[in-house]
Amino acid sequence: MSVSSPAVVVLVECDPLVRYGYTVLVGDWGHEVVACGSTAEASAAASGRRIGALVLGHDIALMQNGLAAAAALAQGFGAVPVALIAGRLQREVLDSAVRLNFTLLSEADEPDRLQSWLRESLTKPAETGT
């Protein structure tokens, strides 16, 4: 299977220092990263790129309609897989993320699990609709 260009990882994290840390980490794993502070910014910044995965910081889930906006963003990218770095979110927020089919990663074990999740997500054949 040939791929014209590698898929991009879109990272949405409100905290600029945390966003920078994730960008460096994911970049060190060999992935191109588009790092943004909001879902609206991510939609604009990723335009025209082949998106392979969406990674959300827990603060996005705390925003009004944050999970719904993230789900719409993922659909707009072509139903890409989504991981939510869960942090200490309330049970109902976590339940909503699970209903949206987001992968939940805890902060404690997240770097190793995030790396594995990205490897798996970016090597799956892209789902295409008709």
Query: Which tokens sit at 89?
Result: 């979110």
Residues of the chain with pLDDT > 70, as a percent, come to: 89
DSSP letter, residue 5: S
Q: What is the pLDDT of residues 25-39, one digit of tens each?
A: 999 999 999 999 988
Number of domains in the chain: 1
> Which residue(s) pair with 32 in the sheet?
8
In a domain, 121, yes or no: no
Mean pLDDT, rounded, of the chain: 84
Taking the alpha carbons at both ends of the chain, their separation in whole angstroms is: 20
Q: What is the pTM of this model?
A: 0.83
Range of the domain at 102: 8-108
In a domain, 128, yes or no: no
Decide if pLDDT at 5 tops 60. no
In a domain, 18, yes or no: yes
- What CATH code is carried by the domain that includes residue 104? 3.40.50.2300
> Higher confidence at residue 89 or residue 82?
82
Decide if pLDDT at 90 tops 90. no
Q: Taking residues 11-30, report their average pLDDT.
A: 93
- The confidence score (pLDDT) of residue 4 equals 46
